Amino acid sequence: MSMDSSLVGDHAQVRLKIGPWEFVPGVRRGHFNALLGASFFTIGIMTLVGNLQPYLFNAVLKVPIGEQGSLSGSLASFNELVFLAVVSLVGAASDKVGRRPIYALGFVVMSFAYFLYPLATASGDLFLYRAVFAVGAACVSSMLAAVIADYAMETSRGRLVGICFFLNGIGVATLVVLGGRLPRIIEAMGVEPVQAARCAYWSVAALCFLPFLIVAFGLQPGAPSRVERKEPLLATLRIGLGAARDPRVLLSYLSAMVSRGDLAVLSTFFLLWLTTYGIGEGLSAAEAQAAGTKFFGIAQIVATLWALVVIFFIDKLDRVLALAIAMLLASASYITIGMVDDPLGPAMYAAAAFMGIGEMSGILASQSLVGQVSGEQGRGAVIGVFSMFGAAGILLSTWFGGILFDAWKPSAPYILVGVADGVLAVLAFALYFATRRRPAAATVVKSVA
């Protein structure tokens, strides 16, 4: 660890440097450690709400198998709508009161939602509880991104994102595998399914207080010193949509829709598919869900490790070509897993690992492309519209995926997103070959005066 100092007036501005990470003045080692801890828990706890649902549907609420896909898709879409409605308010509030209290509040709200969830007596109750959860999720996910942005010097921003992203992946794999097995462990103690569901959900509710303590007492206090000026929403939309006249920007928007849709399908339907299949094979709901978690864990671990490979190659290739190759991999991986006949059989090990490769390739290539094509002027507007296309992808993939899950077959959502990935790959290859003689300069987008 080293400290760099520069004088501003009569005050020494001290910058912390730990290994490859350099931080803005005021950030201390404890703040960095707290960010690492928060990165491990944040996305994993958010993901568990969907991955515990199959047990609740089958063992407690007795939702008919033919309705579970639509219900899961509707809950995920509703979650995204509430998330979008509150996330801008959360960001504005954190600019005034600081990231730490909003981040901590998010874990408290999610804990309350996890407490309520197993008390549902009908599937309709879950929409109310999911709304509560979405508010907490909006707090924690937006604050994780904001804290990373606040802490890092520009020279080490990518490396800080990288370590936090790595811990996100490890946290998701760990928490989903352990959390998904809780009902079986509790049932093995002689507990009835209704009580087992409550114990499992309430264990996660209690777990939320560990990251609450990490962020409430570990992150840097006070309002952020660097707050960018926010453009009016309509002006932001105008700038961002206007930038889509550049086909590379438009391609980045479409990539957000497709790659975020891929992730939504994975988190919403994967364990539901494996659980319902296992029940059909004679397993209990707890046993089937536990059996499915190992494949989810494999996908996430491979995805996290593959990120190291993807990051190296993306910087060596034209970003449009990188996206085309990544989406081709994603298409092949999702269609492959959609064709698996025995999702709890040996073939699923390779299919799940391949899905992890496709998942990570798509999301990182998409993020890399938008980072290049959004120029310094108007970058916030382009990123904002990019995020809106991503939200649209989540809504569409979960809604239509849920319908296909019930009406066609449980693996249908993967074929759906696999086809979408393939179409985007074709478009990306076409754009690359049409423009490969042109320099890959960043798009310059004019900002509102």
Q: Tens of pLDDT along 353-380? A: 999 999 999 998 998 888 788 764 466 6
- pLDDT band with cut points at 50, 70 and 90 for residue 448: very low
Sequence-ordered alpha helix ranges (H) in 4-64:
29-51, 53-55
- How much is the pLDDT for 162? 81
CA distance 324 to 369: 11
Mean pLDDT on 9-21? 70
CA distance 402 to 408: 10
CA distance 397 to 139: 23
Does residue 197 carry a pLDDT above 90?
Answer: yes
Residues of the chain with CATH 1.20.1250.20: 28-229, 231-444
Q: CA-CA distances (angstroms) from residue 183 to 52, 59, 190, 317? A: 9, 10, 11, 46
Does residue 303 carry a pLDDT above 50?
Answer: yes
* Mean pLDDT of the residues in the chain: 89
Q: Which amino acid is at 23?
A: F
Range of lowest pLDDT (37-41, 240-244, 382-386, 399-403) = 382-386
Residues 6+ apart with CB under 8 A from 343: 273, 274, 277, 292, 295, 411
265 CB-contact burial (10 Å; exposed 0-12 / middle 13-18 / buried 19+): buried
Residues 6+ apart with CB under 8 A from 305: none
SS3 content of the chain, % helix, strand, coil (to 5): 75, 5, 20
Q: Tens of pLDDT along 71-107? A: 999 999 999 999 999 988 888 899 889 999 999 999 9
Q: Tens of pLDDT along 37-65? A: 999 999 999 999 999 999 999 999 999 99
Range of lowest pLDDT (10-19, 207-216, 248-257, 438-447) = 438-447
DSSP 84-120: HHHHHHHHHHHHHH-HHHHHHHHHHHHHHHHHHGGG-
CATH number at 231-444: 1.20.1250.20
Look up tokens 């946290």; give the residue.
171
Locate 252 and state its tokens.
């980045």
Share of the chain above pLDDT 90, in %: 71
38 neighbors 103 (Cβ within 8 angstroms): yes
Fold adopted by 28-229: Growth Hormone; Chain: A; (1.20.1250)
Q: Tens of pLDDT along 234-280? A: 776 788 888 899 999 999 999 999 999 999 999 999 999 999 999 99
Mean pLDDT on 384-406? 93
Which residues are registered as beta bridge partners of 18? Answer: 21
